[in-house]
A and B are shown apart, each in its own frame.
Chain A
Amino acid sequence: GQQVMQIPQYQHVQEGEDFTTYCNSSTTLSNIQWYKQRPGGHPVFLIQLVKSGEVKKQKRLTFQFGEAKKNSSLHITATQTTDVGTYFCAGLTNAGNMLTFGGGTRLMVKP
């Protein structure tokens, strides 16, 4: 079945440093979504990427979808303590209606 792998599993950064998490799928995706889960909270939708090579920005967050639509990345510039949480990617294939989630990257930011 479809697998979505996410690295790294954990990342500690000093406030102000950049952060990147990577997502790789074993199959071609029709779209990919990113969610953020604050400690003790629930996943909240951030963004969806649909087109090959697509790049979207939300303030300090930059999301990319690979040309082959099998990988994606989330980059945070100049992290802040409010960025703390676990970031999940979730892929949707053309064949199905169900999202497959990656294992998540837990970001910790030292002030």
Chain B
Amino acid sequence: NAGVTQTPKFRVLKTGQSMTLLCAQDMNHEYMYWYRQDPGMGLRLIHYSVGEGTTAKGEVPDGYNVSRLKKQNFLLGLESAAPSQTSVYFCASSYVRPLASGANVLTFGAGSRLTVL
């Protein structure tokens, strides 16, 4: 049982290049999320999905696109990378359950460190 797996773990891009980060979860979670983490900024939500085929914008969506074609996968795309997108990206997933039993408790992947030169 791998949990949440992110690929790649590290990537260096030049300004203007494109790339896709892949997140896969094997826990049959309904919800999936992409966060970015920058020093002193905590975790900021980029996009999220409440189920297969659905996506929604989070707090900082500009410059990113996402797709959830399969329930277990959530892809984060950068069409034209910028230095401001240098960050550590975390994917997370959660069940949908009644609040009392732990809805929205997030399971995170190990992270993907992206550097844009």
Digitize B30-72: 1 where CB-to-A-CB distance is under 8 Å, 0 elsewhere. Answer: 0100010000111111001010000000100000000000000
B104 in contact with A97 (CB, 8 Å):
yes
- Near A by CB (< 8 A), chain B positions 96-117 give 96, 99-100, 102-111
In the assembled complex, the Cα of A33 lies from the Cα of B104 at a distance in Å of: 9
Q: Judge whether A92 is part of the interface by a CB distance below 8 angstroms.
A: yes
Digitize A88-108: 1 where CB-to-B-CB distance is under 8 Å, 0 elsewhere. Answer: 101010000111011110000
| Number of B residues, CB within 8 Å of A | 25
Interface residue from A9, A35, A92, A101 paired with B104 (Cβ < 8 Å): A92
The minimal Cβ–Cβ distance linking B88 to chain A, given in whole angstroms, is 9
Best-buried of B42, B58, B96 by chain A (most CB within 10 Å):
B42
Best-buried of B35, B41, B99, B105 by chain A (most CB within 10 Å):
B105
A-B contact pairs, 15 of them (CB 8 A): A6-B42, A9-B40, A35-B106, A41-B111, A42-B90, A42-B109, A42-B111, A43-B108, A44-B108, A45-B105, A50-B99, A90-B106, A92-B99, A99-B106, A103-B42
